[in-house]
């Protein structure tokens, strides 16, 4: 029994790296779990800031078992998704972030809440010119493009099919899976306040 198990061609799980991650996780989270307020603190998000809702939805999507904490296994799964997941897995994760109530459907209110959060974050960074389009117009266009049965809700299959067939929809729905840029921006902003 070796310490590494092949996962894909040329990739192996590095047990030493996993052990290092665990040590760092336990150092940062001595209770063995990461709570929402710790998650927000790590990302430099205050409870009333423009990124608060977005951070809460990200946290909820990483919390696979729904116990309002992220344990080490959920943490590793999240890192694996961020760094190794394929487009479909990332879109499935994005769907969970949008589906705030967890009912398996995204309605216009849920879609608007996330799009609005993303736009407020982009506007706060003042680096993205795509924020000029009105949130309601974007939501309506997304629904017209991917709500195949016209029931006012987007299910997982519609979400995946719509994102994969339309590059604009894909760009709008796919959430930033590499949080490093966002972390740096949030920490930079909080350093000045």
Tens of pLDDT, residue by residue over 126-138, are 444 455 457 888 8
- Domains along the sequence of the chain with CATH: 13-84 (1.10.238.10), 86-179 (1.10.238.10)
Question: 24: pLDDT confidence band, cut at 50, 70 and 90?
Answer: confident
The enclosing H or E element of 3 equals none
Distance (Å, whole) CA 150 – CA 87: 25
Mean pLDDT score of the chain: 77
The pLDDT, as a whole number, for residue 150 is 93
Would you say residue 11 has pLDDT above 50?
Answer: no
pLDDT of amino acid 133: 57
Own/partner pairs, 170-176, CB within 8 angstroms, 24+ separation: 172/115, 172/138, 172/142, 173/91, 173/94, 173/98, 173/142, 174/87, 174/90, 174/91, 174/94, 175/58, 175/90, 175/93, 175/94, 175/97, 175/114, 175/118
pLDDT exceeds cutoff 60 at 39: yes
Better-predicted residue by pLDDT, 35 or 189? 35
More confident position, 167 or 10: 167
Q: What is the model's pLDDT at position 189?
A: 54
Distance (Å) of CA 160 to CA 5, 137, 141, 149, 167:
30, 21, 16, 14, 12
pLDDT for the residue numbered 141 = 92
Cβ atoms of residues 105 and 143 within 8 Å = no
Segment 92-114, tens digit of pLDDT: 888 988 898 889 999 999 998 88
Question: What CA–CA distance (Å, rounded) separates 93 from 87?
Answer: 10
- Name the DSSP class of 179: T
Distance CA 51, CA 53 (A): 6
pTM of the shown model = 0.68
Any idea what DSSP says for residue 55?
H
Centre a 10 Å sphere on the Cβ of residue 119 and count the other Cβ atoms it contains.
19
User: What distance in Å separates the CA atoms of residue 87 and residue 101, rounded to the nearest whole number?
Assistant: 23
């Amino acid at each position: 029994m070796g310490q590494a198990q092949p996962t894909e061609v040329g990739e192996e799980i590095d047990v030493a790296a996993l052990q290092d991650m665990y040590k760092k996780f336990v150092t940062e989270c001595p209770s063995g779990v990461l709570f929402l307020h710790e998650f927000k603190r790590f990302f430099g998000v205050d409870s009333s800031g423009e990124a608060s809702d977005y951070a809460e939805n990200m946290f909820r999507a990483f919390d696979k078992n729904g116990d309002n904490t992220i344990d080490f296994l959920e943490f590793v799964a999240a890192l694996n998704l961020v760094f190794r997941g394929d487009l479909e897995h990332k879109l499935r994760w994005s769907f969970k972030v949008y589906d705030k109530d967890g009912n398996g459907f995204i309605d216009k209110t849920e879609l608007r809440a996330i799009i609005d959060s993303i736009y407020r974050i982009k506007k706060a960074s003042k680096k993205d010119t795509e924020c000029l389009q009105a949130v309601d117009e974007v939501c309506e266009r997304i629904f017209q493009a991917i709500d195949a049965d016209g029931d006012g809700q987007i299910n997982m299959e519609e979400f995946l099919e719509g994102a994969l067939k339309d590059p604009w929809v894909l760009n709008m729905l796919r959430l930033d899976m590499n949080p490093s840029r966002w972390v740096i921006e949030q920490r930079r902003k909080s350093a000045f306040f």
